[in-house]
Chain A
Amino acid sequence: MKQPLHALALALLVAAGIGLPDAYAQTRTDVAVAAPWHVSGIDPAQDGYTFQRMEVGETLVDADATGALRPGLATDWTVSDDGLTWRFDIRENVVFHDGSALDAAAAASSLNRAMTRPGILSSVPLEAIEADGNAVVVRLSEPFSAVPAVLANYTTMILAPASFDAEGNVVAFIGTGPFAVDKVETPLSLAVRRFDDYWGEAPAIEAASYLSASRAETRALMAESGDADVAVTLDPAGYAQLKRVDGIAVEAVSIPRSIVLKLNLARGPLADKAAREALSLAIDREGIAAGILRFPDAAATQLFPPVLKGWYDADLPPLAYDPERAAELLAGLGWEKGDDGILTRDGARFALTLRTFPNRPELPLIAAALQDQWRAIGVDLAVSVGNSSEIPAGHQDGSLDVALYARNYGLTPDPVVNTVDDFGTGGGDWGAMNWDAPEVAEALTAALRQSDPEARSAAIHTVASALQQELPVIPIAWYQHTVAYPVALEGLVVDPLERTYGLSAVRWAR
């Protein structure tokens, strides 16, 4: 890392007007990443995504920047004709960071251990995961087309047997990636160094560090001052600011994450489809996109963003902004404005409480905007900013009215698993609530089991159009993933799936 003297010399150079990246170019072999998320622990079920993004741990299946699956620690996979048995051939000559070799037995036991923890595997109808020769065999109780996609999720990263103690707790993160853990300081930092026996192409940089800085403006300042090289998830103002700084490149990438409003359809006012439509019509998405997110293109016209190919449906009529129509719809349902400007029906006020959380800096701002926009049509919205977990908790105990969050449909490269969780029978913690739509559940099951592309796409179309008409959740915006990095850091590819920071491919310009 930089020494104090070094920093002082650097400061003088900067003061003298010499560009920062150039001054650094000759000597640097490390990269510092600043992101909002804590490194709470080393269990992949915990903040495993950070270990995946820092390329410490790897999964059997990998995905490229378009979301297409490609071999990871498994070189190939096949499914039996009945769709119940998947075989993943394990890559040869792969060693863990402790020098032990990867084999099917190690991979299977790592996956079996992951099954005992919360994670995406619990969505799969698993019978067993076993080693068979040089392959890992996954047996299912019913067909499930997305097994490879699930095995690309970070909770299924393969760790060496020595990573676990007798109870299955992770005592050390021993993965197979191009970088090995150097030091973990929970909850704020993770240092990694190049792993020289990596099976793939060795990275150019020697070391990297991950710093958790929860405030967006802090990350922007760190990027500007050179204290962090790669800064991710910037706030709109920080993004605009960094754009103007010489020597720093900023990128905004559409990712399969949508900012949505979850509605509890069991709440009286929300049970009417027309009321949900009115609420949606009252939302000025373009205003939110332009004024808060500062990306006019981010306004959602439907739930799935265009980056989710196969799920985004260009034929759907886009969501519109029309507060007058919204007021008409509500009047048609018998709502009348009271003295305080709030709608009432049968003595009940149209009042709701919205839950959201501050980890993504724009969410509380959007909540404040919604509060204002809904008040214009006579809906009283109280905003409660708290911990994200209050949303699933409210889903489970039924206390939730409305929730605002950013849902990642790219947890697995194929969003079918999330979609089933969110909109299948009974809805989901991060999806529909008290929405009864058997035809959607049926179509989702078909999408889950079918591997025939055409039948699948028909099923997906059914789902997408039902979501657009029924609005069990109201889409607000498509998330823009933002990254800032020095122009001298070459080869950085921003991954729309947020699977990697791309550090193994970067090098500092000479």
Chain B
Amino acid sequence: MRLPRLVGLVCLLVIAVLTILGPSLSGFDPAKQNLRAILLPPGTDGHLLGTDNLGRDIAARILGGAQITLSLAALAVASAAAFGVGLGMLAGWRGGVTDRLLGALSDAVLALPGLLLVLLLAAIRPDSWWTLYAGLALTLWVEFFRVSRARTRVLTASPAVEAARLLGLGRWHVVRRHLWPDLSLQILTLAAFGAATVVTALATLGFISVGLRPPTPEWGVMMAELLPSWREAPWAIAAPVVALAATVLSLRLAAGSEG
């Protein structure tokens, strides 16, 4: 395994542990305000990363944001992968009308740039985790579909699979023995990229006020809240910026990104 990938995976592990431990790690309630102690510098009164514009503990909010962001990423990617890989194998296996219909469906989703589709869907119900989830899963499944369809198509025509078929081994056997081992690695890579896309999209929509909204401690929302205080308290906005960049970078490195 190459070094960058290892670094990415280790960082991801750290991020995952921190996320699972959550806001309680900071010793503060991410929602608890203190209007008389706003924008405190890091380290003041036990606030590891200082306080935000409403006197809330930034570390607690970063961790709360991590839970929101990463749970969305995990769920959206898992659904997209399940849906995309399932349909992709079906299309690759069956070919014919099924393949063409599913292909047309994926083309229809790709007819619009992904973020645009998520933006439109997110507007159906503003400030809804579930709408964002649906929109992101809908745009992400296509990539899984295309890869697994192409691989399935190649593999089903391969001699090994044909031999297995001739031997009368069932569909599941073929999937388990021949398709899955080949696909799983690519799917993991795609999943890491997909998760990076979700994290970026969520923060972007939050920042331009069409995603999750305050007082949710979502990173993009936090950046929008803290941007006005950037000169007074540059550390405050630095926290979500670093959290976001580190997460996306780790995911991309773990995926084996070469740029």
List chain A positions with a Cβ less than 8 A from chain B: 216-217, 220, 235-238, 240-241, 284, 287-288, 290-292, 358, 361, 364-365, 368-369, 371-372, 383-386
Contact = CB atoms under 8 A, between A and B. Distances in A.
Interface in B38-63: 38, 53-55
Nearest to B214: A364
A241 B228 CA distance: 9
Interface stretch (B28-36, B101-109, B169-177): B28-36
B127 interface: yes
Contacts of B53: 237, 291-292, 365
A385 B214 contact: yes
Contacts of B225: 365
A220 B38 contact: no
21 contacts: A217-B227, A217-B228, A220-B228, A235-B228, A237-B228, A237-B229, A237-B231, A241-B232, A288-B35, A291-B38, A291-B54, A292-B54, A361-B228, A365-B54, A365-B214, A365-B225, A369-B35, A369-B54, A372-B31, A372-B54, A383-B214
B228 A238 contact: yes
Contacts of A240: 232
Given A371-B215, A386-B126, A241 B231 contact: yes
A259 to B, nearest CB: 15
Contacts, number: 58
B209 A358 contact: yes
Contacts of A238: 228
A372 B232 CA distance: 24
Interface residues of B, number: 21
B178 interface: no
Contacts of A386: 126
A385 B227 contact: no
A291 B53 CA distance: 8
B151 interface: no
A220 B53 CA distance: 17
A36 B154 CA distance: 58
A291 B228 contact: no
B213 interface: yes
Given A291-B55, A385-B214, A368 B33 contact: yes
Nearest to A220: B228
Nearest to A217: B228
Contacts of A384: 127
Given A287-B35, A290-B36, A371-B31, 14 more contacts: A236-B228, A237-B53, A284-B35, A291-B36, A291-B38, A291-B54, A292-B35, A364-B214, A365-B214, A368-B215, A371-B215, A372-B33, A372-B54, A385-B213
Contacts of A236: 228
Given A292-B54, A383-B215, A386-B126, A369 B229 contact: no
A435 B55 CA distance: 36
A291 B55 CA distance: 8
A287 B36 contact: yes
A364 B212 CA distance: 13
Nearest to B38: A291
Nearest to A284: B35
A427 B251 CA distance: 55
Tell which of B32, B126, B214 has the most Cβ of chain A within 10 Å. Answer: B214
A288 B36 CA distance: 9
Contacts of A292: 35, 53-54
A379 to B, nearest CB: 14
Main DSSP-derived SS at the A contact region: helix
B250 to A, nearest CB: 29
A15 to B, nearest CB: 19
B152 to A, nearest CB: 46
B217 to A, nearest CB: 11
B131 to A, nearest CB: 14
A368 B228 contact: no
Interface in B203-259: 209, 213-215, 225, 227-229, 231-232
A291 B35 contact: yes
Contacts of A371: 31, 215
A35 to B, nearest CB: 17
A212 to B, nearest CB: 16
Interface in B184-219: 209, 213-215
A373 to B, nearest CB: 8
Nearest to A384: B127
A385 B127 contact: yes
Interface string B76-106: 0000000000000000000000000000000
Contacts of A241: 231-232
Contacts of B126: 386
A291 B214 CA distance: 17
Nearest to B225: A365
Contacts of B228: 216-217, 220, 235-238, 361
A364 B53 CA distance: 12
A386 B54 CA distance: 21
A241 B227 CA distance: 12
A75 to B, nearest CB: 46
Contacts of B33: 368-369, 372
Closest 9 CB pairs of A and B: A291-B35, A287-B35, A237-B228, A368-B215, A237-B229, A372-B33, A217-B228, A235-B228, A291-B38
A284 B36 CA distance: 11
B227 A372 contact: no
B151 to A, nearest CB: 45
Nearest to A294: B38
A385 B210 CA distance: 11
A260 B66 CA distance: 34
Contacts of B215: 368, 371, 383
Contacts of B54: 291-292, 365, 368-369, 372
A215 to B, nearest CB: 9
A235 B231 CA distance: 13
A310 B55 CA distance: 38
A321 to B, nearest CB: 11
B214 A368 contact: yes
Contacts of A287: 35-36
Contacts of B227: 217
